[in-house]
Amino acid sequence: MGEQLPFADGSHSPKWPYAVICLCCVLLVLWLKGPGLLIAAIILVATWSISRMRTTTPEVESLRTSIRLSAEDISDVQKEWAAFLSGADSDSLADRTLTRPALADPDCGDPAIEKFHFEISNANRFLGRLEARLQQSLLTSELETLLKVTDERALDLRETWLSARKAAHRLGPNYKKEL
């Protein structure tokens, strides 16, 4: 899976127009002296303020919202996992100790449970980087790729969570004797 692609540094906006504008401002100052300095300052301030304006299209906002919704799916599994591990209610306690103790054991040798532990730790790191990535100025294609990766991760995590729960239920409370 090309999961590193959406985490490349920055967007791909060209920097050469800024260099051309700066060069023209220098030429204005050299040619017109005092008035050139004033005109160059106005041009540079206008360029800076225009480049800082963020005009987001509805498509970009829609993609960002979709990415956040997929991230919520990942967070939902994390919350279910946290409730399983530390829930104080009787259902959580019974599930953790009597029905599925193997799921709470990070050293359990069952492949489905091992895979879930791996996926949940990856999901924690992924969500930690995701919001910072969404704060950057991204192209539509980068957002589409990020949405695809987030959707895949959410689906994989949900599937591994359910598989691990089934495997832990199958192993039962005396799972260490069977392995």
- pLDDT per position as a tens digit, 16-43: 888 999 999 999 999 999 999 999 999 9
101-148 pLDDT tens trace: 888 888 888 899 999 999 999 999 999 899 889 888 888 889 999 999
Q: With 0-12 CB in 10 A as exposed, 13-18 as middle and 19+ as buried, what is 18?
A: middle
- Name the more confident of 7 and 71: 71
Would you list the domain boundaries of the chain? 11-53, 57-178
Q: What percent of the chain has pLDDT over 70?
A: 88
- Determine the pLDDT at residue 3: 42
Residue 4 has pLDDT above 80, yes or no: no
pLDDT per residue as tens digits for the range 60-73: 889 999 999 999 99
Whether pLDDT at 56 is above 80: no
Query: Which pLDDT score, from 0 to 100, does residue 139 have?
Result: 84
Question: In this model, does residue 1 exceed pLDDT 50?
Answer: no
Q: Which whole number is the average pLDDT over 69-84?
A: 94
Q: Residue 96: pLDDT band by 50, 70, 90 thresholds?
A: confident
Helix axes 58-86, 111-134, angle to 10 degrees: 140
> SS3 for 3?
coil
